Amino acid sequence: MSVDLAPECERFSGLIGRWSGRGSGDFPTIEPFEYLEEVTFSHMGRPFVVYAQKTRRAGTGEPLHTEVGYLRPVGEHGVEMLITQPTGISEIHTGTIGDGVMDLRSVGVCATPTAKQVDEVTRRFVLEGDSLGYEMHMAAVGQPLQFHLRAQLKRMD
Ligand code: HEM
């Protein structure tokens, strides 16, 4: 049974669906890499959007990073995002959405005792019709806030 998007989630309507594409990543402590990505934003009629992402290494197809989370509407143009990763890290973000741009900055990053150290994360999504791009920066493993990921996705449905 399909349900209507909650009115508060109208700001996320352009994101709802399945996306796939390609990205690249880097950080001072690692080798640069390229990856393939699939993302789904879905909803169940309640005032939040469900986010699910998985990636594979370009070339070999080896599974890489994956994460799940939620987008929550706040006020007129606000957004909160929660993201959890099997690497033991959870990000809590606040930000804004408007004119096809969603800007997020972490207000907290929590890690399990065995996870790598991640102190801060920023994420920016740019939606242009059936194209969705994003960049992710992080302060981690003793390095200041800087680029880790960039990807460009196309709508699959
Ligand atoms: C598209 C999503 C992502 C991909 C494909 C990806 C991929 C990678 C790869 C290939 C490495 C190199 C080392 C390794 O193989 O483990 C790495 C390192 C790392 N990534 Fe990511 N990553 C992603 C998202 C994230 C996110 C969301 C975070 C943090 C919130 C993160 C934090 C780290 C950290 C802390 C390291 C280790 C750096 C080090 O030990 O020197 N990554 N990532």
User: Does domain 7-26+33-151 sit in CATH 2.40.128.20?
Assistant: yes
For the chain, the domains span: 7-26+33-151
Q: Do residues 43 and 6 touch, judged by C-beta distance below 8 A? A: yes
Nearest atom (ligand 1) to Cα of 64 = 5
Mean local confidence (pLDDT), 62-68: 98
Average pLDDT over the chain, rounded to an integer: 97
d(CA 137, CA 139): 7
Q: Report CA(83)–ligand 1 centroid distance (Å).
A: 14
Q: Is the pLDDT at 2 greater than 90, yes or no? A: no
Contact between residue 114 and residue 126 where contact means Cβ atoms under 8 Å apart:
no
> E-assigned strands of 75-140?
78-84, 89-98, 101-111, 118-128, 131-140
3-state SS assignment for residue 30: coil
Give the model confidence (pLDDT) of 8-47 as tens digits. 999 999 999 999 999 999 999 999 999 999 999 999 999 9
Please check whether residue 93 is in contact with residue 107, taking contact to mean a CB–CB distance below 8 angstroms. yes
Nearest-CA residue for ligand 1 atom 22 is 65
Q: Which atom of ligand 1 is nearest to the CA of 31?
A: 12
Tokens representing residue 17 in the block: 């669906």
**HSE-up (13 A, CA, CB side) for residue 117:** 9
In angstroms, what is the span from residue 90 Cα to ligand 1's centroid? Answer: 13
pLDDT at 1 over 90: no
Per-residue pLDDT at 72: 98
Whole-number pLDDT of residue 125: 98
Name the one residue in this structure whose structure tokens are 């959007």.
Answer: 49
- Report the pLDDT value the prediction gives residue 34, as an integer from 0 to 100: 98
Report CA(85)–ligand 1 centroid distance (Å): 11
- Between 1 and 118, residue with greater pLDDT: 118
Q: How confident is the model at residue 157 (pLDDT cuts 50, 70, 90)?
A: confident
Query: Which of 87, 89, 88, 82 minimizes the C-alpha distance to 107?
Result: 82
